[in-house]
Amino acid sequence: MAEAEAKAQDAAGQEAERELVRYEARGGVALLTLDDPPANTYTYEMMQQLDRAVLRARMDEGVHVVVITGGGEKFFSAGANIKMLSEVTPTFKYFFCLHANETLSRLEQTPKLVIAAVGGHCVGGGLEIALAADLRVARKGAGKMGLPERSASRARLS
């Protein structure tokens, strides 16, 4: 196993113990909170947890609305964890991006109302998460929203 993949596996083991996506359901609403301070950047582990949370809300007959938000006040999500991406192989990066896209597609296709409650910066892949929701609600002055990548060709924008 390559050294970069070993680092990713070590990080995965540490993050697998942490709850990176909090799930709470009550009164017909499932609240999914991205919780990896300070910027709620996502890793493979967070995407796995988000995927499970989306499926959990989808299959819960008592849930009619899904709200996704970021933990803390400064960030909804700053997108993919650049440090993690810099330490993995191109193959891992490809499959990571594929899984993230599949997860956001599942969120987008969920037959329940999905609301992104944006209370902080929402950039890069974080904006892609918000765009996968049916509605986006942002707090005035919450922060920046956009795609910083120069070659941004995002399917959710078309």
Give SS3 for 127.
Answer: helix
Least confident range from 10-19, 85-94, 122-131, 142-151: namely 10-19
pLDDT tens per residue, range 54-107 = 999 999 999 999 999 999 989 999 999 999 999 999 999 999 999 999 999 999
Q: Say yes or no to pLDDT of 9 above 90.
A: no
Q: Token match 């947890």: residue?
A: 49
Mean pLDDT over all residues of the chain? 88
Q: Left if phi > 0, otherwise alpha if psi is -120 to 50, otherwise beta: which for 139?
A: beta
Q: Which of 15, 45, 87, 128 is catalytic?
A: 128
Residue 144, pLDDT above cutoff 70 = yes
* Angle made by CA atoms 134, 137, 142, in degrees to the nearest 5: 140
What pLDDT, on a 0 to 100 scale, did the predictor assign at position 158? Answer: 47
Q: β-pairing, 75-77 with 29-34?
A: unpaired
Is residue 77 within 8 A of residue 129, CB to CB? The reply is yes
Catalytic residue from among 19, 24, 73, 149: 149
pLDDT at site 103: 97
102 catalytic? Reply is: no
The whole-number pLDDT of residue 10 equals 59
Cα–Cα distance between 85 and 43 in angstroms, integer?
8
pLDDT (tens digit, 9 = 90+) per residue, 12-66?
Answer: 555 557 999 999 999 999 999 999 999 999 999 999 999 999 999 999 999 999 9
Task: Look at residues 138, 16, 8 and name the one whose alpha carbon lies nearest to residue 77.
Answer: 138
CA distance 1 to 143: 41
As a CATH number, domain 3-146 is 3.90.226.10
Measure the CA angle with vertex 105, ends 52 and 30; round to 5°: 45
Asked whether residue 127 carries a pLDDT value surpassing 90, the answer given is yes
Q: Does residue 128 have an active-site annotation?
A: yes
Return phi, psi of residue 35, to 5°.
Answer: -135, 75
Can you give the pTM of this predicted structure?
0.84
